[in-house]
Amino acid sequence: MDQDHMKKRGTKFDLWSYADVKRKADAILARVKSGSMPPPSSGEPRWGDDKVNKFQQWINEGYPP
C-alpha cells in the first residue's frame, strides 16, 4: 500500500514517519498480531511471526532508528 493510498483511506498510522510509528508502536504491534494490519483489502500479505517478532524486538530495544 502506498502513502497516497493510506492518506485517502484516512488511516491512523503514518508509516512513513519514524516519530508516528514510534508513538503508535504498541497499537501497530497489536494490529499486526491480530492480522488486521495490513488490511486484507490492501492485497499485502499478513506479517509472519518473524516480522512481528522483529517489530517487537525494535520496541523492546527502545525504538532504535
Radius of gyration of the chain (CA): 12
* pLDDT digit string, tens, across residues 35-49: 888 888 778 889 999
b/e map of 6-22 (b: 16 or more CB within 10 Å)? beeeeeebeeeeeeebe
> How high is the pLDDT of residue 1?
47
User: Digits of tens for pLDDT over the chain (65 positions)?
Assistant: 455 555 555 556 677 889 989 999 999 999 999 988 888 877 888 999 999 999 999 999 999 99
Contact 63, 55 (CB under 8 A): no
Ranges of each domain in the chain? 3-60
Burial class of residue 31 (count of CB atoms within 10 Å of its CB; 0-12, 13-18, 19+):
middle
Residue 9: what pLDDT?
A: 57
